[in-house]
Chain A
Amino acid sequence: MQTGRRRPGVTAVGVALGVLLIAFSGCGDLSRDELNRGVESLGALAAQGELIANGVARDATKSTYARVMSKTLGGEAEHEAEKLADAEPSPEVKGERNAAVQIAGELADLFSELQAFPGDEHHGALVQKHMAEVKEQADAVVEHLTGEEA
C-alpha cells in the first residue's frame, strides 16, 4: 500500500510552477482599463497641481508647502510615467499609451518647476495655465479610451 509521502521532485516542480505563475501574473499587455486608470490619475495630479499653482500665483500659500507638495506629486507623476513607459500596450491603445507617457512627463516637468520657484507668482501663474492644459489633454485621452466625456 502506498504511503502519503510525496516525492521531492514533484514538490519542487510544483513550487517552481507556483513561483513562475506568481512572477508572471502581473505581466501581459497593458489593457484599456489599466491605461484609463493611469491617465485618470494623471488628470487628478494635474488638477491638484493647478490648485497648488493657483496658491503660488496668488501669493496665497506657504513656499515650503508648495515646494514639498510639488516634490511629492512630481514624484508620483514621474512614477506613473515610468510605469506607463515600461508597460507593453495592447496594439489598439498604443497611441493613447504614448500620449499618456508624454502627459506624465510634462506633469513631472511642471511640478519640478513649481518646486524650484514656490514663491514666484509669475511662474505660479504660468504653471497653473499649463497644468490646466495638461489636465485637458488627460481628459481627452480618457474620453478617447472610454468613449465618454471625462
Chain B
Amino acid sequence: MKSILKIALRIIAALGGFLDIGDLVFNTQAGALFRYDLLWAVALGTIGIGVYAEMSGRVAAVTGRPVFDSIRMRLGFGMGLVALIASTFVNVLTVAAELGGLAIILTLLFDAAFSLFVVLAAIGLVIAVALLPFGGIERIFGYCGLLMLVFVATAIHQGPDWSAVAHGFIPSLSDSKLYLYFVVGVFAAALMPYEVHFYSSGAIEEGWTEENLKENRLNAIIGYGLGGVLACALVVVSGYLFHPLGVDPADLGTVALPAQGAYGETGLLLALGGMMFCVGGAAIDSSSSDGLRPFIPCSVPCFVCPLLGRSLPCCGRGKWEPSRRVFERRLPSPAPSRPCEQSGVDIRVRRACGGSILADELLRMGELLAIYPQRPPGRSDGGGRTSE
C-alpha cells in the first residue's frame, strides 16, 4: 500500500512538473494562431518525452548510471563532449528563459522592478538547487505545479466544440511556414533535454534498481501522459478564447487570462501560482541538469557539486578503475562531513568528492579519453557498474 502511494505521489509530481516556459508560451500561441489544429503535435511530443524518459529511467535503474554518463561511455569522450555542448547550450538558454519567466510572473503578482525579481529568482534558484534534495525539489515544485490544473478546469468550463478538439488530434500538415514552425516548436517544447537528465539523475539519487522498472514505467507513462493533458488544455483554452479575437499571447501574463475569464481572481492567482512553480521547477531542473559533472575534476570544491548537476554523471565517475574497471582505486575514503553528503547526493558522489586530487583527476580524464571501453566486462548490460 505504501509503495502504491509512493508511486502515485511520484506520478502526481511528474504531472505537476511537466510544463515549462516553452510549453506555456508555445502551446498558448499555437492555440491562438491555429485553434486546435496543433493538438496532435502536443500529443506527439508528450509520447516522445514519455518514451525517452522511460528509456533513460530504465537505463539508469539497470546500469546505475544516469543517461548522460551512459552516452559518454558508449559513444566516447568526443561524442560525449558534443552532446554536452549541445545540451548545455540548450540548458543555459532554458535557464535564462525560465529566470526571465519567473521574474515576469513575480512582477505580475507584486508589481516591483523586473530586474529585482530576476536577481531574487536567481538567488532562490541557487539556494534551492544547493539545499534541496531531489525528492524535495520534485515534491515542492511538482505538487505546487498542480495548480496548473486550473487550465483543465477552464477548458471544461469554456465548453468548446469537443468534436473540433478531437479533430485536432489527427495529424495534419500545411503549406504555411508558420504552421510548420509551430509544429516543430510545440514538439520541441515538450522534448527538452533537461527533463530526461533530471529524470535519470533522480533514478540514481533514489537508488533505483531493476526492481523499480515497473515504477519507472508507470511514472513515465502516467505522469507524462497526464502532463500532456495539461499541455493540451493550454492549447484548448487559448484556441477557444484568443483565436476568435485574434489575440497574440506573446506576453507570459496573457497565458493566465483564460483562467481569469472563467474563475475570476481566484482563477488568475491559481494560474499565476501554477505557472510560477512550473517555471521555477523547470529552472531548477535545467540548471541542475547541465551534464557538466563528468567533465569537471573532483578537485573542484565539493560544495560546487549541487550547483553543477547534483547527481549527474559524477555519480559514476568515482567507480572507474582500469584494472578492476572501477574508479574507486584512485579515491580515498569519503570525508563524512562533506556538504555533498548533507545534500543527499548519491553515495558515489560523496566518494568522488572525498578524493579531491587534481592529478588523479587528470589521469582519470586521460583514461577516459584513451581506454574507456565500449562495454566493461563482467556485466551484460554494458552499464559500467562493476560488482564489488
A-side residues, CB < 8 A to B, are 40-41, 43-44, 47-48, 50-52, 54-55, 58-62, 64-65, 67-69, 72-73
Contacts and interface: CB of A to CB of B under 8 A. Distances in A.
A50 B245 CA distance: 10
Nearest to A54: B261
Contacts of B245: 44, 47, 50-51
Contacts of B247: 44, 47-48, 51
A68 B264 contact: no
B260 interface: yes
A55 B268 contact: yes
A41 B265 CA distance: 27
Contact of A65 (B242, B246, B248, B268): B268
B367 interface: no
Interface string B259-279: 011001100110010000000
A40 B272 CA distance: 28
B248 A69 contact: no
Size band of the interface chain B makes with A: 20 to 34
B283 to A, nearest CB: 20
B67 to A, nearest CB: 39
A60 B267 CA distance: 9
A59 B266 CA distance: 11
Given A61-B268, A67-B111, A72 B261 contact: no
A69 B253 contact: yes
Contacts of A68: 107-108, 111, 253
A73 B251 contact: yes
A48 B111 CA distance: 19
B109 interface: yes
* Secondary structure of the A contact surface, majority rule: helix
29 contacts: A40-B246, A44-B245, A44-B247, A47-B242, A47-B245, A47-B246, A48-B257, A50-B245, A51-B241, A51-B245, A51-B247, A52-B257, A54-B261, A55-B264, A55-B265, A55-B268, A59-B265, A60-B264, A61-B264, A62-B108, A65-B108, A65-B253, A65-B260, A68-B111, A69-B108, A69-B251, A69-B253, A69-B254, A72-B253
B152 to A, nearest CB: 20
A12 to B, nearest CB: 37
Interface in B89-112: 107-111
Closest 4 CB pairs of A and B: A60-B264, A64-B111, A47-B245, A44-B248
A51 B110 contact: no
Contacts of B109: 62, 64-65
Given A43-B246, A44-B246, A67-B111, A72 B264 contact: no
A67 B265 CA distance: 14
Given A68-B108, A68-B111, A62 B248 contact: no
Interface in B106-125: 107-111
Given A51-B257, A62-B108, 10 more contacts: A50-B245, A51-B247, A52-B257, A61-B264, A61-B268, A62-B268, A64-B109, A65-B253, A68-B253, A69-B108
Nearest to A150: B246
A60 B260 contact: yes
B246 A61 contact: no
Contacts of A67: 111
Most buried by A among B110, B247, B264: B247
Nearest to B264: A60
Contact of A64 (B108, B251, B260): B108
Nearest to B256: A65
A61 B111 CA distance: 14
Contacts of A52: 257
Most buried by B among A48, A59, A67: A48
Interface in B271-328: 272
Contacts of B248: 41, 44
A62 B109 CA distance: 8
